[in-house]
A = this chain, B = another copy of it.
Amino acid sequence: MNTFGRNFRVTTFGESHGAATGVVIDGCPPGFKISEEDIQVFLDKRRPGQSDLVTPRKEADTVQILSGVFEGKTLGTPVCLLIQNTSMISTDYDELKEVFRPGHADRGYYQKYGIRDHRGGGRSSGRETAARVAAGAVARCYLEKKGIFINGTLTSVHGEKTQEGIEKAIREARDGGDSVGGVVSLVVSGCPHGLGDPVFGKLDAMIAFAMMGIGGVKAVEIGSGVQASSMKGSEHNDQMTDHGYLSNNAGGILGGISSGQDILVRLSIKPTPSIRSQQHTVDINGMDRIISVKGRHDPCIAVRIVPVAEAMMALVLMDAFLEQRKIVPDCRQEP
């Protein structure tokens, strides 16, 4: 299950310390201008090593278009985007060959498949998200021409909600060999009404699926989110007038269908599990071990999830946009 989407079908591949990471996009509309530069912009936002708040690892993350684009335009055939892996120091991971890191997928992969690539998390590495960002970039370029814009922000870290507090929390965690969680908020503006398919293809359900599928996300909220459970109907309902809606508790989606209001999503993200502090764990033989995870890790993965969450939102919207085209002519037909 490495494919996302029904219409704009995105299949990612690659282990973090393998030869390459990449993605094939099947169902990309034809005749659409896209260049490696257009995609690189988004990859650069995800790239580590850009400030002291993120891992100092250097990853070039240079994208190459292998197929599906001819003379600068999409052909309607599969677009393969490749990112060669570089800057991999696999020996950093030698001691993890037989020990499972707490809070990581290590043990899960081993139990599930009976085999795993222990180097840098292999397939479960955050590195896989580079492929998602690349695919999302293609979708975003397309959506932006339709007037649909996606904006993600890191809105809190370890409970801190100001830029200053956020940075302080991250630096303290980093310096203490620990890590911190955070919240990423997404706003989609310009989304037309009608996207999303009841009953099992609801737009909010697809968003929840996409977002909870990003490593580290532990909660997804739409509009009023967890607050909804403490509200009354008379407060929560978004009343309508001929000027528009009087509120947006729905978060832009009602009955699984976009309403035309801004789409509002909030993600709660756990602290990076790779920390220097000593922790109890077990090895592949089930024996007790103490572990302190070395390597160059992000003290707060929420920082780097922002562009990934934006990309996943783009994939959801792109897919729903193409799906909706199938019925638009019929909706408009005369009785």
Contacts and interface: CB of A to CB of B under 8 A. Distances in A.
A27 to B, nearest CB: 8
Contact of A103 (B64, B75, B113, B233): B233
B232 A105 contact: no
Interface string A273-293: 111010111100011100000
A56 interface: no
A128 interface: yes
A226 B217 CA distance: 9
A7 B122 CA distance: 22
A73 interface: yes
A114 interface: yes
Interface residues of A, number: 155
A-side interface mostly:
mixed
Contact of A233 (B21, B109, B180, B286): B180
Q: How many copies does the complex hold?
A: 4
Contacts of A114: 30-31, 330-333
Interface string A77-92: 1111010000000000
A220 interface: yes
Interface string A1-44: 11110110101111100111110101101111000000000000
A240 B283 CA distance: 10
A190 interface: no
Contact of A333 (B4, B6, B31): B31
A271 interface: yes
Contacts of A329: 325
B19 A67 contact: yes
Given A123-B198, A232-B173, A15 B282 contact: no
A327 B29 contact: yes
Contacts of A234: 178-179, 275, 277, 279
Q: Which of A173, A218, A231 has the most CB of B within 10 A?
A: A218
Contacts of A29: 326-327, 330
A41 B74 CA distance: 33
27 contacts: A1-B26, A2-B200, A3-B11, A11-B11, A11-B26, A11-B78, A12-B199, A15-B67, A15-B77, A22-B67, A103-B237, A108-B259, A109-B255, A114-B330, A179-B233, A180-B231, A181-B229, A202-B212, A206-B209, A208-B220, A228-B269, A239-B280, A239-B281, A240-B282, A241-B288, A249-B270, A322-B326
Nearest first, the 7 A-B pairs at minimum CB distance are A105-B255, A1-B201, A108-B257, A179-B233, A209-B209, A114-B331, A208-B212
